[in-house]
Structure formats: structure tokens, C-alpha cells
Structure 1
Amino acid sequence: MNTAPDLRRELGDWRLWTVRGIVVLLSAAAGLTVVGFTWLAEAAYGGFAALRAFAWWSPLVWTPLCTAAVVWCTHRFAPGAGGSGIPQVMATLDTKVGEAERGLFVSLRLSVAKILLTAGGLLGGLSLGREGPSVQIAAGVMLQARRLIPAGSAVGVHGLLVAGGAAGIAAAFNTPLGGVMFAIEELARAPEQRSSGLIIAGIVLAGLVAVSAHGNGAYFGVIHAPAIGMDLLLPGLLVAVLSGLAGGLFSRLMIASLSGASPDRVSRWRARRPVLFAAACGLGVALIGIATGGAAFGSGYATTRTMVEGSAAMPFAYAPFKFLATWLTTWSGAPAGIFAPSLAIGAAFGNDVALLLYGMQVPALIALGMVGFLAAATQAPLTAFIIVMEMVDGHAMVLSLMACALIAFAVARLISPPLYPTLARLQLGRIPAPNVEPAQPPKAD
């Protein structure tokens, strides 16, 4: 086997190295964009927290107004920026979507709109995450490479979209491995579509850019779980089944709400008066946030970190309240991700089971609740497992986390179809129908 000519050919192929350089540079740009988006989102929520500290009742006015403004801007200027962002990227990967339709779902303009509108939602205190939006934002940045890559390159639009979307998860969570698994499990579902080594390198690079900016700490802190024994078996199984049922219900509720297929009066009102409906959802979120002392506002990052670090325990009511606030936020039509709120809800379910058992195995059950609810809600058990695994101190819980993710996923599958593929099919309905010329009657001889 003569490798010297092959090596000289590869080293001397300027087109190949140009493609690699462009992918690497845009991967870094995608990571930096997500870092900037993270800063803006945190600053926006900090502004909301300052307003709430000034007047406890202010969310009753500010949150509905802000939600209505965000939804109006979304409908008026960037309809493709609504929702999570993951269904848009998945829809763009569909073979029915061509060059002309791609801008409906992913573009640099939509990335800018997504950044501003998601930050606007956090400025209003809505219960949303920035991880799903980061997928669409990073994909829009990465897609610009197609304008620079020479024709006939091995890296196509599909690979760029997969790399960009997964880079968004890697940079948002500080988990490069989670980004790679998300690319394989959610975006590149068929084995023949999986990313090349260059694309995976781009995903990892985007994650490393975020790690460099935020430090090498875990996104929600580190879960210090004690030695795992048989005494965790029944509580862990209870958490897995409970989080699977709750996550499956959440997914089914999201699909039913966002599809608009139900003929009920509320769905008709949402379709006819989307801005007024958004204001009503914002008022609901404000009432829930005030009832929980502010814990249900925002992504749930601070609350989850509090539970993970063991510095405070949440009341039993937090999990259902956060569940409702996240559902109302998404139903309003505002750009909103569900990853971080799902982890907060799952952590609360694990915390509740631990409290029922008089404080036994609290860190371990919180970790199992996080992975179980996220796996059930997204029906992406491997991605959920990798993201939570990187937060656990040591490897004692690896098998427990994997088992919990798979059990919760299996339970959720009995309740709801997969969330993101179903929403992606709804996104494809936004493609305009082709204009068909009416058939002309044959001319008489």
C-alpha cells in the first residue's frame, strides 16, 4: 500500500484545505455567536430580575406586554424564527426543501432575529431555554460557508446544517460530546447521512470556543453523587417512570398546542388573534412566576443549579408550575427552547421523590430526574444522557443515567410521537404550494 503519493496529493490539494479552513473558521464563528447570544440572554433576564426586585407586581404588566411584542415582531418580521429552532433545522434537512425554500427555516437573517427575539422573551421573564434557539442560530451562521466553498466540494449543505445545529448545542451547554451525539441522534438520523470527520471536528471546535469563554465548568454545576447501591434501584425506577410519564405528556401537549389541529375555541382564538393570545399566555406565566416566588421565571438555570449544588430544596409544587409556565411560553408563539426548562423540571421531580423518601440519595435522584425528563420530552435519550453525564462527578452513575434515559424514553413513546420530527413536519407546511397553470382546452382544428 503506497501512501506517499496519497499524502502528497492531499497536502497539495488547495481546494481541500480551503474547505477545511472555511469550515473551521465558521465553526469558531458559530461558537462565538452562541457565546454572544448567551451573554445577551443573561443580560436580558438580569434586566427582568431587576424590574421584579423593584416592584413585585411588575411582571403582571410587563410580561404580557413583552410577550405580545415578541410574538408581533415574530409574525411581522421573522415567522421562521418562532418556536424552538430545532424543528426548523430538521425541516431544512428534508429532501423536499430546495435552495429557494431554505431561507424559510435557516438563514443569517433568521439567526439575528432569533437572538433578539429570544432575548426579548427572557427580558419578559418567560420560561424558555436558549439551547434550542442556539441550534438554529449556529446553523444559520454555518450555512454561510456554502457561499465560500468551491463547487463540487465533499462538504454539502446537509453537512453544514448538521454541523451548525450540533455546534449550537455544544456551545450552549459547554458539552462538545453532547453536540456530536445530538448531530447523530436528532439531525443525521440515517447512517448514510452522518457527518464526516471534518464536520465532527467543527462541532467540537464550537464547543471548545464556548468552554474557552465560559470556563471548563459544567453548565449546571457538578453533581456529587455518593456511591450507588441497590438502595437506589426502586427510587431510581420511580423517577424514571414518573419523568417518562411527565415528559411524554409534555411532548403530547406541545404537539397538540402548536399544531393548531384541535377545533376548540382556544385554538381558534390563537389562530385569529395571535398577539392577544400571547399576552394572555404571558399573564399566565406572570401569575405562575409570582406564585412560585420568581422560581418559575426564566430558563430555570439558577433553580436547577441550586438543587444540583444542594444549597436549597424546591417545594413539591415547583415541578408542575414550571411545567405549566414552559408550556404557556411555548404555546404563546414566542421563540423558546425547552432544554433548560426540561432539565429544571426533571431535577424538581427527582428532588420531590427524594423528599418523599426523607432525603435519601438526593443528588443521584436529581441527576436521574434531569436525564429522564429531558429524554422523555425530546425523545433523544443518548443526547440527554451525554449532557447530564458530563455534569456528574465520577463515573459511578453512568449506567444508572443510561438506564433511566432509556426507560423514560420507552414510557414517553407510549404517550406521544417524537416531538421534534413532528414539529419539523409542521414546519414543512409553511412551504408555499407551487403555482400550477390550469390546463388549457385543446384548440379546435
Structure 2
Amino acid sequence: AFNTPLGGIVFAVEELAKTHINYFKTALFTAVIIAGLMAQTLAGSYLYLGYPKTSDVGLSIMFPVILVAGISGVLASKLSVLMLKINAWTKTLKNDRQQIAFLIASALVIASLAYFVNREILGSGKEIMERTLFTADKHEDWYVPIFRMIGPALSFTSGGAGGIFAPALSAGASIGSVVSGWIHLSPNETNVVILGGMVAFLTGITRAPFTSAIIVLEMTDRHSLIFHLMLAGMVSSLISVMVSKKSLYDLLKNSYLDEIRNNHS
């Protein structure tokens, strides 16, 4: 989706490191590499976001990066817990009528927030990332990160189409944008903090800091920020464990396995 084949490989490595990698490492790595090559062949070597300006940024930017990483890690873990609670609650709905009612209610909430408050709750959030990174309009309102979490939470749990990676990146970008405005950073410093927020929020969801950092690096070609982004990922990974010890995908996997066992018992 992001034309980041290296990120896909690293994600496979980080996920397989949690289990018995020897059983299926060759098949999985081959599949990831083929997928990356096909994406590069069909879509070309493009950047998902582009080249944000990050020059002339001093080491003092590390402190805002750490701050945003901590906030993003906490909020991402809270979002994971919320999504799992909603998902568990939806399983208590006894018939199709109740499930349809929940779906309609979720759609109405999202549509109402988009119409009456801010349209940026809709979609993957790529517009937020592009606007804050590449225009002079770099600072979001304080409530945008909250809405960027509400939208994916309701969409994901109600069965709507869409993934979690892009919404997580845009939520992190909006957090970095808000905090940068509060502490009055320069445009280039703001870009660094926004990228750090993207890495941190995705890490809070996946608990895969290396994957998150490499995905953002491949999206933006900002290899000079490797330390900044890795720092954001590591801080988020450490902080998010305090809220929830396992990633969203681990908890969903356990939930699905329990459901399968219950159906067969």
C-alpha cells in the first residue's frame, strides 16, 4: 500500500521473532519480497509522501520527539484497548438486526463528526500528512488527533473496509502537529516531530518499532533522520507497554484463536 518493500520485510521479521520462525521463514520472506517487487514493477519507484524539509535541525529537537513519542505511545495503546473492547462488545450482539444497528450508529457518528466538526476524520488521513509536511499550514487543532482515533476505531470494529496502518500514521502526524504548535517549533523542526509522531503511533499499535521507522523512512527518503525515528519508535514501544503489554494484532490473534476453540469445543 505504501510502496515500502523493506518495511514489509522488517515487519515480517519482527512478527516472526515472536514465534517459531524456522517453520515458515523462507515461504514468508519469499512472499514479501515478491509482493515488494511486484509493487515496484507495476507502480514504479515512487514515494508515498515525498521529500519533507528537515534540514538545519539541531539535537535539541530530540526532546520534542521524545515528548510526542510518549504521548503517541500512550494514545495508540489506549486506542488498541478501546478497539478490542468494542470488538468484544459487538460479539455480544445476538442477531443481524443489532449488528446492523451498530453499523448504522457508527456510520452516523463518523459522518456527523465529519460534517459538523472536521472532515479530516474521514479516510486514511493522507491529506493531513501531506498538508502538515509540505505546506505552511502545519498545526492541527487539539481535537483532530482524537477524531483521527475515533474514526478508525468505529470503522475497524463495525466491519468497514480499511486497514489500521495509514490511520495510525495520520493520527501520529496530527499529534506531532499539535504539540509542535504548542511549543512553537520552526517548520523544519515541526516536520521532524510529525515524522516522529507517525513512527511512534504506529509502534504503539504494532509494537514493531523498527518496522515503523523504516516504513516512514521509505515513505519520505529522510535517511538523515534514522536516529530520530528509531528513538521515537523505541520510546513509544517502552511507554505503550505500560498501557497494554501486547500489540493490537497479538490481542486480536488470541481473540480469534479463542473463538475458533470455542466453536470446535
TM-score (norm 1): 0.54
State the shift of 1:194 in Å: 5.6
Any conservation in 2 of the 1:175–1:390 contact (CA below 8 Å)? yes
Secondary structure of 1:414's counterpart equals: coil
Partner of 1:30: none
User: In the alignment, is residue 399 of structure 1 matched against residue 227 of structure 2?
Assistant: yes
Relative contact order, higher structure (CA 8 A, sep 6+): 2
Aligned residue among 196, 199, 204 for 1:371: 199
Partner of 2:156: 330
After TM superposition, list the pairs within 5 Å mapping 1:218-367 onto structure 2.
Answer: 218-260=47-89, 268=92, 270-272=93-95, 273-313=98-138, 314-360=140-186, 361-367=189-195
State the shift of 1:289 in Å: 1.2
Give the Cα separation in 1 of the matches to 2:160 and 2:195: 29
Give the Cα separation in 2 of the matches to 1:398 and 1:382: 10
User: In the alignment, is residue 383 of structure 1 matched against residue 229 of structure 2?
Assistant: no
Any conservation in 2 of the 1:281–1:331 contact (CA below 8 Å)? no
Secondary structure of 1:185's counterpart equals: helix
Q: Which amino acid aligns with 1:353?
A: V
State the shift of 1:295 in Å: 1.4
Secondary structure of 2:210's counterpart equals: helix
State the shift of 1:353 in Å: 1.3
State the shift of 1:395 in Å: 2.4
CA 271–308 in structure 1, closer or farther in 2 if over 3 Å, else same? farther
Q: Which amino acid aligns with 1:289?
A: A
Any conservation in 2 of the 1:243–1:349 contact (CA below 8 Å)? yes
State the shift of 1:330 in Å: 1.8
The percent of aligned pairs where both chains have the same amino acid is: 30
Give the Cα separation in 2 of the matches to 1:394 and 1:254: 32
CA 187–256 in structure 1, closer or farther in 2 if over 3 Å, else same? farther
Q: Deviations over 1:58-105 (max 9, x none)?
A: xxxxxxxxxxxxxxxxxxxxxxxxxxxxxxxxxxxxxxxxxxxxxxxx
Any conservation in 2 of the 1:223–1:367 contact (CA below 8 Å)? no
Secondary structure of 1:252's counterpart equals: helix
Gap runs ≥5 in structure 1: 1-171, 261-265, 436-445
Give the Cα separation in 2 of the matches to 1:176 and 1:303: 23
After TM superposition, list the pairs within 5 Å mapping 1:83-162 onto structure 2.
Answer: none
Q: Which amino acid aligns with 2:182?
A: L
Q: Deviations over 1:258-285 (max 9, x none)?
A: 123xxxxx885x4551111110010000
State the shift of 1:406 in Å: 0.9
Report how many aligned residue pairs link the two structures. Answer: 257
Q: Which amino acid aligns with 1:305?
A: E
CA 294–237 in structure 1, closer or farther in 2 if over 3 Å, else same? same
Q: Which amino acid aligns with 1:363?
A: N
Give the Cα separation in 1 of the matches to 2:4 and 2:82: 29
- State which drifts further: 209-218 or 368-377: 209-218
State the shift of 1:357 in Å: 1.8
Partner of 2:46: 217
